Amino acid sequence: ILHQMGIKIIIATGRRYFFAKPALETLQIPLVVLANNGNSVWIMNQDIKISAKYLSVEVFHEILKEGHKRGLYPVLHVDHYEKGCDLITEYQYTHPAYNSYVTPGSSRHKVVENLFEITEPNVMVMCYAAPTDILKNFQDYIRQNFHDSTQSHITYSLTRVGAMLEISHISGTKWQTALEYANSVGIERSEIIAIG
């Protein structure tokens, strides 16, 4: 009904675009999708990406290096949709560092020998699984050293992974990206209603 009234409907999700798209297509209406917690924006019925936010290569490398010193290995959420890849890791999904984060047999998961050698990594989110105290300590380091270019939070998956530290671009949030998109199409902040 809202769509028929001319109201623009935007879906904001923490899921990857590829993962969210099949469920959203069942609605059979034109949608704008803010995926990966607002780090990419898609016009779904045309499969067109209109914006994306990445960690700079320098920041990505510095965080990666510090994580390795601490024995931490990330799952990278990357913007390689057209290449058929959404996740990149250094090891197979069975590696204990991922704590079941990566689904077995995922066709969109790529394993590389050295994350430092990826050209154009287009990293939207670095995700680390580990005990909470280790992640909090790492998060303190990141906030101290990269407070002007990243934002991070610790979430909990009670069914699979446990504690997870997610690191992304400083403005890579659903709300910030929703505001930016609304501004680009002439929608005032006061005209936005968020549900969920």
Joined tokens for residue 162: 């446990």
> Please, are residues 135 and 67 in contact by the beta-carbon 8 Å criterion?
no
- Which one-letter amino acid corresponds to residue 152? S
Q: How far apart are CA 78 and CA 84, in angstroms?
A: 11
Measured CA distances, 159 to 25, 67, 100, 162 (Å): 27, 25, 10, 7
Supply the mean pLDDT for the chain.
91
Q: List pLDDT tens digits, range 128-175.
A: 999 999 999 999 999 999 999 999 999 998 777 789 999 999 999 999
Q: How far apart are CA 185 and CA 50, in angstroms?
A: 12
Give the SS3 label for residue 95. Answer: coil
With cut-offs at 50, 70 and 90, classify the pLDDT of residue 1: low
- Which one-letter amino acid corresponds to residue 84? G
Give the SS3 label for residue 107. Answer: coil
> Please, are residues 111 and 95 in contact by the beta-carbon 8 Å criterion?
no
Q: Model-level pTM? A: 0.89
Give the SS3 label for residue 133. Answer: helix
Provide the b/e sequence for 138-175 (b: ≥16 CB within 10 Å): bbeebeeebeeebbbeeeeeeeebbbbbbbbbbebbbe
pLDDT in the model for residue 75? 94
Q: List pLDDT tens digits, range 2-37.
A: 677 777 888 999 889 998 998 988 888 888 999 999
What DSSP string runs through 17-85? HHHHHHHHHTT-S--EEEEGGGTEEEEGGGTEEEEE----HHHHHHHHHHHHHTT--PEEEEEEGGGTE
